């Protein structure tokens, strides 16, 4: 009897609990801009395919712990404006692209000038302000810079595709030059970020880190652009703890680069570790560390200290084209410091290049 009473009390209690489910335990579906505000009150969101009206940002500001599933492709109306075209924010978010595409309409904007002139282009196209995971999303033809990442906590980006390869060709507005320009893959001035297993086809840096810490870039393929960059580094910033490993770098201007702005002061770049990267078809420099940016291998500044740039196993292997330089290190007086172990670097082809104002590199001969 007592047992029966107890069990019916228990049943009552569990029914109550089920009834007071959180209001956010629902599925929000986005079929157009009009649905966004309601959908993000749910912690499960379905993003269906539609066209975002020109001049608007598809801005998805999620409850913490939400999951988003893409279920179709997103297009954007074409208009010359600053963007971004897409923005997502929230903590502990699982964003699944499921292989679907954000189509930036690049050919509408491309004029060979990127951010340096011509029409105003939405840049960045994609602004990611989430922690958690962001995976399996494709971007086609970004107008200029593609992703800007400013994660509020640890974020893993996995299995993305950025395909701006059409921008390698000239168009009627680009005076014979590649139509796509400044189409950076990832601009990541942030902390606690991993970008992995992604493919980036573009006409500028595959990755550019202007400041930040604890960033891992691994198992990616960079094709056609300007390589994997730390920089450009301006005044009063620190970069500490970057791991670049197991990437393939194909037909880029340079494979691996650190660029610091010539008149920058009070900045520090340290603890940069490369391993197991394979580069082929490199057009200008295999490795370039240059403190004369935006010039190239010109009079260097010394306001940015660079230390602990190391190549660890497995070996990084770089093949440069006939007239390209294998390794160029252009330090300011006294601003490259410590011992850098380059014994796990092999660079072949081309011509040697100079190492200026620094003798701390060990294990590597030009």
Ligand X SMILES: *[C@@H]1O[C@H](CO)[C@@H](O)[C@H](O)[C@H]1NC(C)=O
- Measured from the CB atom, is 240 or 357 closer to ligand X? 240
Lookup result for tokens 């008149």: 263
Q: DSSP assignment, residue 324?
A: S
State in angstroms the smallest separation of the CB of 308 from ligand X: 7
Task: Answer for the pair 128, 102: CB distance below 8 angstroms, yes or no.
Answer: no
Of these, 28, 83, 84, 105, which contacts ligand X (CB under 6 A)? 105
Sequence-ordered list of residues with C-beta below 8 angstroms from that of 225, at least 6 positions apart, any chain:
183, 185, 200, 201, 202, 203, 204, 205, 206, 252, 253
CB of 366 to ligand X, least distance (A): 27
Q: How many residues sit close enough to ligand X to count as binding (CB under 6 A)?
A: 12
Interface with ligand X in residues 267-326 (CB under 6 A): 271
Please list every residue from 56 through 75 that binds ligand X, using CB under 6 A: 75
Least distance (Å) between residue 75 CB and ligand X: 5
Closest residue to ligand X, based on beta-carbon distance? 241
Residue 332 is classified by DSSP as P
Of the candidate spans 17-25, 66-74, 105-113, 173-181, the one that interacts with ligand X by CB under 6 A turns out to be 105-113
Q: Which x/- pattern over 71-100 shows residues binding ligand X (rule: CB under 6 A)?
A: ----x-xx----------------------
For residues 65 and 91, the answer to whether their CB atoms sit within 8 Å is yes
Name the nearest CA neighbour of 302 among 262, 277, 332, 329. 332
234-253: contacts with ligand X (CB under 6 A): 240-241
Q: How far apart are CA 366 and CA 363, in angstroms?
A: 10
- Which amino acids are annotated catalytic? 226
Query: Which parts of 172-231 interact with ligand X (CB under 6 A)?
Result: 213-214
> How far is it, in rounded angstroms, from Cα 333 to Cα 305?
10
Residue 105 or 286: which CB sits closer to ligand X? Answer: 105
Per CB under 6 A, the list member of 63, 108, 150, 280 interacting with ligand X is 108
Q: Which is nearer to ligand X, 105 or 231 (CB)?
A: 105
Contact 160, 219 (CB under 8 A): no
Q: Which is nearer to ligand X, 143 or 350 (CB)?
A: 143
Cα angle 122, 255, 191; round to 5: 60
Q: Closest CB to ligand X among 46 and 179?
A: 179
Q: In whole angstroms, how close is the CB of 51 to ligand X at the nearest point?
A: 5
- What whole-number distance in Å separates Cα of residue 210 and Cα of residue 234? 8
Nearest partner of 167 among 206, 109, 239, 102, judged by Cα: 109
**Identified binder of ligand X from the candidate list 49, 107, 349, 360, rule CB under 6 A:** 107
Q: Shortest gap between Cβ of 141 and ligand X (angstroms)?
A: 7
> How many angstroms separate the Cα of 162 from the Cα of each of 98, 172, 184?
15, 23, 10
CB of 76 to ligand X, least distance (A): 6
- Site residues for ligand X per CB under 6 A: 51, 75, 77-78, 105, 107-108, 213-214, 240-241, 271
């Amino acid at each position: 009897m007592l047992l029966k009473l107890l069990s019916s009390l228990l049943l009552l209690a569990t029914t109550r609990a089920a009834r007071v489910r959180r209001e956010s335990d629902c599925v929000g579906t986005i079929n157009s801009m009009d649905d966004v505000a309601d959908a993000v009150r749910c912690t499960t969101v379905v993003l269906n395919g539609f066209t975002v009206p020109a001049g608007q940002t598809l801005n998805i500001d999620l409850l913490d712990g939400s999951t988003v599933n893409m279920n179709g492709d997103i297009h954007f109306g074409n208009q010359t404006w600053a963007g971004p075209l897409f923005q997502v924010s929230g903590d502990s978010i699982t964003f699944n692209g499921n292989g679907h595409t954000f189509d930036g309409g690049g050919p509408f904007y491309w004029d060979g000038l990127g951010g340096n002139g011509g029409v105003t282009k939405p840049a960045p196209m994609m602004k990611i302000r989430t922690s958690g995971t962001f995976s399996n999303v494709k971007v086609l033809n970004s107008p200029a810079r593609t992703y800007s990442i400013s994660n509020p906590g640890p974020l893993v980006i996995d299995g993305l595709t950025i395909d701006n390869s059409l921008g390698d060709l000239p168009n009627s507005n680009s005076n014979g030059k590649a139509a796509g320009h400044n189409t950076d893959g990832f601009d990541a001035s942030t902390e606690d970020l991993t970008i992995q297993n992604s493919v980036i086809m573009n006409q500028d840096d595959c990755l550019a880190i202007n400041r930040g810490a604890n960033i891992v870039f691994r198992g990616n393929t960079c094709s056609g652009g300007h390589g994997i960059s730390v920089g450009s580094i301006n005044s009063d910033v620190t970069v500490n703890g970057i791991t670049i490993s197991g990437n393939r770098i194909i037909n880029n201007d340079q494979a691996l680069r650190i660029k610091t702005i010539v008149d920058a002061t009070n900045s520090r770049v340290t603890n940069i570790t490369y391993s197991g990267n394979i580069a082929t078809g490199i057009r200008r420099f295999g490795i370039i560390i240059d403190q004369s940016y935006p010039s190239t291998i010109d009079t260097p500044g010394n306001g940015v200290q660079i230390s602990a740039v190391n190549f660890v196993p497995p070996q990084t292997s770089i093949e440069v084209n006939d007239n390209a330089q294998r390794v160029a290190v252009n330090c300011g007086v006294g601003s490259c410091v410590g011992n850098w172990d380059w014994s796990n670097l092999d660079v072949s082809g081309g011509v040697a290049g100079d190492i200026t104002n620094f003798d701390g590199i060990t294990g590597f001969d030009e």
